[in-house]
Amino acid sequence: MLTRHIRELLIDQAQTGRTITYKELALDLGLTPPQTIHRVTEALEILMAEDVAAGRPLLAALCVSRLSHGLPARGFFATAEMLGLFRGDPAGTEARTFYDQELKRALMFYSRL
């Protein structure tokens, strides 16, 4: 299952202390076109819901867009809003603050595994 494989890769990535782009994640997963990034983002949204249900930090925070200045794509913030975690403009300062907090929480949580 794609979500399980993404979770494993992102946990490994978290232990390096670095983020990964959607494209890099798709390549690491061996996904081939069409719609590789779309499949990755759909799976990340499922991971976000699983993490919230389990009381874990958002592992999806490790995956960023190379076009968004080190932030995840808008879908990350839309999903976080739907899950009751974020309110605000996905391009505003509240998005950066929320993201930085979630990334820090995820790195701390998964570095201990």
Domain ranges of the chain: 2-111
> Is 70:64 a contact under the CB 8 Å cutoff?
yes
Name the pTM for this structure.
0.93
pLDDT for res 68: 80
Distance CA 59, CA 50 (A): 10
Q: Determine the residue type at 70.
A: G
Distance CA 103, CA 107 (A): 6
Q: Which of 83, 51, 38, 30 is nearest to 61 (CA)?
A: 51
Strands (E) across the chain are located at 20-21, 63-64
> Is 71:96 a contact under the CB 8 Å cutoff?
yes
Q: How far from the centroid of its chain's Cα atoms is residue 52's Cα?
A: 13
Distance CA 89, CA 103 (A): 18
The list of the chain residues with pLDDT below 70 reads: 113
